[in-house]
Amino acid sequence: MPSQLDELKKLTRVVADTGDFASIKAFAPEDATTNPTLILKAVQKEEYAVLLDQIIADQENANAEVGQILNHLLIAFGEKILEVIPGRVSTETDARLSFDTNGIVAQAREFIELYQRKGIDSQRILIKIASTWEGIKAAEILEQEGIHCNLTLLFSKAQAIACAEAGVKLISPFVGRIYDWYKKAEGRDYQGLEDPGVQSVHAIYNYYKHFDYPTEVMGASFRNSGEILALAGCDLLTISPALLEELQNTEGSVERQLSPEIAKAQELEKIHLAEKAFRWALNEDPMATEKTAEGIRNFAADARKLERLIEEKLAQ
């Protein structure tokens, strides 16, 4: 009998959520996503420390600053990942730029230039950007230049609607972090389709398909395989190696939960969100406000840890 992972792949584009490019091979995903937390975790492993040392040596000879070395490190991981997947890799911009549209655009352009120097087609790259108003506006500029974006740290329909209106290529609603917030706030657990994170993705997916937005929906940040199976049929799902392994080792069928046909049959109101309306809608959603801010802080903290690691190695 086929595994749940094999069955899921028939319905959804499976993406590996890791910076560990060695482990990606075992699950044969189409795409992969990274972020500062995943890269930090990877470079602390012995097999990846060599890659970091090589990047530092190369850039140190060019008198590069710490920030430049970090950028080269992110691109090096992306390059290695692209060697083992057929599709796209997402590379994340600095979370400290989350409220700086021009800064995000500049860093994204630098990432694409670094990839192109390695002979990598920009169509295989997604630039990850936090779903702030400034981040969404940066993505709008980049998409017009042919640089495709993955809007991350997305917790609300308001953020999703603004991304669709900006012509963003892909969004990553964070299922597990929504679940975490409601579990703590309500003092109860959730399973399957009753999970608030799952419900959020259903609402966003149905809205996009109902109104024919081409923006892709990629569920992310899962806490258990039940959340993943409850989103079967979503455009993409980015899944950690641990949960990919669980799905691979579990036999069984997977039932489609999302489809354009189901979305089209719903009665939905189309919403337009200019900046003031976006900011108010986000403000009115305490979960989305808190989790977006928390995510930005945590990714920024891990970026600083990566910089300190580089500084320590430069001082040796």
| Angstrom distance (rounded) from CA 134 to CA 142 | 12
**Predicted local distance difference test score (pLDDT) of residue 313:** 87
**Predicted local distance difference test score (pLDDT) of residue 178:** 98
Which helix (DSSP H) or strand (DSSP E) does residue 52 occupy? helix 46-61
Grouping H, G, I as helix, E, B as strand and the rest as coil, residue 46 is helix
Structural domain including 189 reads: 4-315
**DSSP-assigned beta bridge partners for residue 33:** 17, 90
**Predicted local distance difference test score (pLDDT) of residue 45:** 87
| Angstrom distance (rounded) from CA 153 to CA 182 | 16
Tell me the pLDDT tens digit for each residue of 11-54: 999 999 998 887 898 899 999 999 989 899 988 888 888 888 88
**Predicted local distance difference test score (pLDDT) of residue 47:** 83
**Predicted local distance difference test score (pLDDT) of residue 60:** 67
Total Cβ atoms within 10 A of residue 178: 27
CB 69 within 8 A of CB 56: yes
pTM (two decimals): 0.95
**Predicted local distance difference test score (pLDDT) of residue 51:** 87
The active-site residue out of 9, 25, 41, 128 is 128
**Predicted local distance difference test score (pLDDT) of residue 46:** 84
Known catalytic residue: 45?
A: no
**Predicted local distance difference test score (pLDDT) of residue 81:** 94
Number of independent structural domains in the chain: 1
CB 238 within 8 A of CB 18: no
**Predicted local distance difference test score (pLDDT) of residue 49:** 84
Residues near 71 by beta carbon (within 8 Å), at least 6 away in sequence = 107, 110, 111, 114
Q: What is the DSSP letter of 193?
A: G
**Predicted local distance difference test score (pLDDT) of residue 262:** 95
**Predicted local distance difference test score (pLDDT) of residue 198:** 98
Q: Which residues of the chain have pLDDT under 50?
A: none
| Angstrom distance (rounded) from CA 13 to CA 153 | 20
| Angstrom distance (rounded) from CA 32 to CA 30 | 7
CATH of the domain at 149: 3.20.20.70
